[in-house]
Structure 1
Amino acid sequence: MRALARFPLLFTRQTATTSVAVQTSAEAPALLRYLGEVQQRCSRQMQEQQRCIAGLEARIGQLQHELLRRDAEVRALRQRIDAEAAGEVICRTGCLSHDDHWRADEQCRLSGLPCHHAEAAQTAEKD
């Protein structure tokens, strides 16, 4: 509506018929120039929209990749926690029971580290 305000009384009705006539011959080129400007603006906006869509689609791919990577990390951490818990049970069983057969000189034969279960057991016995 605002754009048509630039061209007041552009069209007039001649009679009761449906024919429409351009008021002056100078208005037709002005109208065509204006329509050309509108078409160029629409073309620029469509190109900008296509670039924006392409950027968003690329970002979707990046986010999907990141999500898959994080899911894999979470699964790996869960498996690691389960393995550590199972190792802890096995270590406790071998170091504190069955004649301490996994412990030699207060060190764990599995890891080679000082046995923390033996230290905890000795502390509990002293109390």
Structure 2
Amino acid sequence: MWGRRHIAIIGGDETYTAATDRTKGALEALSKLGIEPAGPIRYDKWDEGWGRAATRLLLDQGVKFDAVVCQNDQLARGCIDVLKQQGLRIPDDVAVIGHDNWSLLTSSSRPALTSIDNETETIGRCAARF
């Protein structure tokens, strides 16, 4: 998301630690660059439907954004759907990044979805060994 200065965040269910941890990480990364998130961080379900609804909220409320950090790949896919329906080009007009690197979603998305990989499989293998 180099060069992007207006970055929105779409979150999952904030009662989950994953949502609050991912928000904390995103805010820390933005802060290091001197960037505040574009608009309020919106939380709800971890699905494409919420990704679409949250993106519509950003657009309808006139939030200026040129990138969106989505807290999972399903949210990102929903976000991309709405942006494309609005005639916006991904990543030229708006960059979108997901989280979890779920290959089923990242590779079948058009354009292909960039996603943060927590390497959970590797973590699980290490945990099982110990």
TM-score range (shorter-chain normalised) is under 0.3
State the structure with bigger RCO (CA 8 A, min sep 6), 1 or 2.
2
Q: Which has the higher helix share?
A: 1
Query: What TM-score do you get using the length of structure 1 for normalisation?
Result: 0.25
